[in-house]
Amino acid sequence: MTDVSTQFELMVISGSASLQETLATLDSVALISVPTTARALSLLDGDWLPGAVYVEDTLRGTLDDVWAIVRAAMRRQVRVVVNLQGRGAGRASEFQAAGATVIDARTPDAVADQVSKALGTRRRAHSEAIMVAVTAVKGGVGKTLLTAMLAEGLRQRGVSVLVIDNDISNSGIRPTFRIPSTAPTYTGLLGDGLGMAAWTPERLRSCIYQHRESGLDFLLGPEEMVEAIHDLDSKNFYAFLHAVRQLSGYQVLLFDTSPEIVRRPAPYIVGREGGWLVLPAPPSRKERTGVLNLLRALRHNPGDDLTGRTLLVGMEPERGVVSSLSTALPLFAREAPSARLLGTLVHDPRTVSLADAGEQGYRSPLTVVPHGRFARSVHDIVDALAHEIGLTTPLAKPRSTLLDRLFRARPVAPAGVAMDGRKVAA
C-alpha cells in the first residue's frame, strides 16, 4: 500500500471542476484529473500507479463502471475512496466489503474533509473568517449600499473585515468608498497567463487595498467593465474563494456580488461552502418579484436548500411608494420559511448624499448623523447579523440616548457643503 504521509498522487474521477479545486487544498497531494472511467481503467492497468483513487457514483455511465474502477485499484493495492450520493447510496456495505473507503459527502468542502480523513493527510487550513455574500438579482435595490453599511457597522464594532468586490461587471464599491483608479485589482492576476494557479494567498495579499478613511481592507475588481479574460467563472471562483479563505487576520469576508448570478454564481458557491447570504428586500412589485425568484432558486439549489443560510434586510421604500414591507415580508416568509429577517434599513437619501458631497475624500454616512434613524437602523442590523452568524464583536453596539436622538441627530455637513447638499465656496 502506498505511504500517504509523503507526497503522492491522487487520481480524481469526477466531472466537477470545483471539487478538483477543493481537493487541491490537501497537503502533500498532487491531483491527477481523469475525465472518464475508461481512461482511469487504462491507467490502472498500466505501469504507472497513483497513490490513491477518488471516484463518485454521479459520473456518467453505470454503477458497474464504478465497480470496475474499485476492483482494478484494489487488485493493484491502490487505496480507493468512493463517494456514494446517487444511485449507489444503498450499496455502501458492498463497496466496503470490497475494501473501498465509502463516504457520502455532497459539497466540495465536505468531500475534501472526508477524503483527507480517509487518506490520513491534512487540508491547508482556512482562516476562521465567516463568509457573508450580499446578493440580489436586480441592480438598483441597494445591494452595494447595504454591503458598505454592513462593512462600516462591523468595523465600528471592532471586527476586522475584508470586503471583496465581486460585482466585477459594474462595481459600485469603488465609487462608494472613493477608491482611486490606481488601486490594485485581483482580477488583474488572470492576465498573467497562470490560469487558476494565479489564485494563491500570497498573490491575493499583494492585491489588498487598505482604505485609510474607513479602516477597511478591500480586494477590488476592475474599475471599468470587465474583459472576458478577467471574468470569474465557477471554476475560477472556487479557486479564488479557497485562496481568500487562507488569508489570515480577518473575522469576516464580505462579498458584494454580481446580480448576474447565472453567469457568476458566487452567492450559491459561498452558501454551499458554509457562508451566509444577505438579501436586500425592497417591497415594490418589480423588486419584490426579484427577491421571490431568488429565494425560490436558493430553496431549490441542487443538493442543499440555501434559504436556511439566507438573511433578509427589509429596504424601507421612498415616501409616496404605496408598496409596504408589511405586505412584502409575509410573501418572503411564505416562499422561504427558513430565511430570517435582520431588520429594516431606513431610507435616508439626505444622509447618504451629504456623506457623498464633500471634497475631502470618503466620509461614512454613519458619521454624518451618528444618532439618526439611518445609523441606528444599520447598527441594529449589524447586531442581528452578528447574532445570526455566531460572531462575537469586540465592541458593543453604539448607544443613542433619547437626548442624543432629540438634540444630536442633526447632520454635520462636510467642509465645503451646505446643509442642503449644495457646494459652497471656501
Asked if residue 420 has pLDDT above 60, the reply is: no
Q: What whole-number distance in Å separates Cα of residue 377 and Cα of residue 358?
A: 23
Q: What whole-number distance in Å separates Cα of residue 292 and Cα of residue 289?
A: 5
Strand partners, 256: 134, 165
The dihedrals phi and psi of 294, each to the nearest 5 degrees, come to: -65, -45
pLDDT digits (tens, 9 = 90+) for 8-52: 789 999 877 667 767 877 877 878 888 788 889 999 999 888 999
Asked if residue 3 has pLDDT above 90, the reply is: no
For residue 277, the number of C-alpha atoms closer than 13 Å in the C-beta half-sphere is 31
Q: What whole-number distance in Å separates Cα of residue 277 and Cα of residue 312?
A: 8
pLDDT band per the 50, 70, 90 thresholds, residue 231 = low
Taking a C-beta distance cutoff of 8 angstroms, is the pair 101, 81 a contact?
Answer: yes
In sequence order, the 6+-apart residues with CB closer than 8 A to the CB of 325 are 281, 283, 314, 315, 316, 317, 344
pLDDT digits (tens, 9 = 90+) for 130-167: 999 999 988 888 999 999 999 999 999 999 999 999 98
pLDDT digits (tens, 9 = 90+) for 265-287: 899 989 988 899 999 999 999 99
Q: What whole-number distance in Å separates Cα of residue 175 and Cα of residue 146?
A: 14
Pairing of strands 310-315, 101-103: unpaired
Helix (H) or strand (E) holding 375: helix 373-389
What pLDDT does 190 receive? 78
What pLDDT does 279 receive? 97
Lowest mean pLDDT among 180-189, 339-348, 406-415: 406-415
Strand partners, 209: 218
- CA triplet 229, 230, 232: central angle to 5 degrees? 110
pTM of the model: 0.72
What pLDDT does 424 receive? 41
More confident residue, 217 or 171: 217
Owner of C-alpha cell 481523469: 34
Taking a C-beta distance cutoff of 8 angstroms, is the pair 297, 330 a contact?
Answer: no
**What superfamily would CATH give domain 130-407?**
P-loop containing nucleotide triphosphate hydrolases (3.40.50.300)
In sequence order, the 6+-apart residues with CB closer than 8 A to the CB of 236 are 190, 196, 199
What pLDDT does 169 receive? 73
What pLDDT does 388 receive? 96
Give, in order, the Cα–Cα distances in Å from 205 to each of 126, 147, 162, 272.
15, 21, 11, 24
Please spell the DSSP secondary structure of 50-107, one letter per residue: -SEEEEETTSSS-HHHHHHHHHHHHHTT-EEEEE-SSTTGGGHHHHHHTT-EEE---S
- CATH 3.40.50.2300: which residues of the chain? 8-119
pLDDT mean over 344-368 = 88
Nearest to 280 by CA among 368, 378, 160: 378
**Cβ count near 314 (within 10 Å):** 23
What pLDDT does 5 receive? 41
The DSSP call for residue 371 is T
Q: What whole-number distance in Å separates Cα of residue 34 and Cα of residue 11?
A: 7
What pLDDT does 406 receive? 62
pLDDT band per the 50, 70, 90 thresholds, residue 425 = very low
Q: Across the chain, which distance is largest between two alpha carbons, in Å?
A: 85
Q: What whole-number distance in Å separates Cα of residue 423 and Cα of residue 99?
A: 77
Q: What whole-number distance in Å separates Cα of residue 255 and Cα of residue 135?
A: 8
User: Alpha carbon 382 to chain centroid distance?
Assistant: 18
Side-by-side strand order, sheet with 130-134? 209-211, 216-219, 161-166, 252-257, 130-134, 276-281, 310-315, 340-345
Radius of gyration of the chain (CA): 25
Q: Which CATH number fits domain 8-119: 3.40.50.300, 3.40.50.620, 3.40.50.2300, 1.10.3720.10?
A: 3.40.50.2300
Q: Which three cell numbers stand for residue 383?
A: 447586531
pLDDT digits (tens, 9 = 90+) for 95-129: 999 999 999 888 888 898 899 999 988 877 667 89
Give the mean pLDDT of the chain: 85
What pLDDT does 125 receive? 66
**Cβ count near 170 (within 10 Å):** 14
What pLDDT does 4 receive? 39
3-state secondary structure of 166: strand
Taking a C-beta distance cutoff of 8 angstroms, is the pair 103, 111 a contact?
Answer: yes
- CATH 3.40.50.300: which residues of the chain? 130-407
Q: What whole-number distance in Å separates Cα of residue 276 and Cα of residue 298?
A: 12
